[in-house]
Amino acid sequence: MEIQDLNGIGLALTFNLAAIAMIAATRIMQLVLARDGTVDRPATDVVAADQLPMLEALQVHLEGKTAKQKNPHAKHSIDWLAWIIGKHPAKTARGSFSAQAA
């Protein structure tokens, strides 16, 4: 998208679109940096607090029986969240998300 293409959209809408993109990019970068387990931030930096119980339930299904197959990160930390997202098999072979994969 070129800046000339935004003339018909309006300045306020363009600003909102840029703000949404920046928020999404920031959340993605937080998760990427959390993968190594050195970030000491709560998961609520990325997801809403009311989503944490659902993530806890999802974690139970993603963890295996051995210690190596369990989430090694502190509960409700951003590292904990990154582990769950990384283990979730939501993507299908075609690259789209499927509710049945959950």
Per-residue pLDDT of the chain (102 residues; tens, 9 = 90+): 666 666 666 777 888 889 999 999 998 888 888 877 777 889 998 899 999 999 999 999 898 899 989 998 889 999 899 889 888 876 544 555 444 444
Q: How far apart are CA 26 and CA 7, in angstroms?
A: 26
**Which pLDDT score is estimated for 92?**
47
Residues 102, 99: Cα–Cα separation, whole Å: 6
Torsions phi, psi of 42, nearest 5?
-80, 155
Q: How far apart are CA 23 and CA 49, in angstroms?
A: 17
Alpha helices in 1-102 (DSSP H): 11-34, 52-62, 78-87
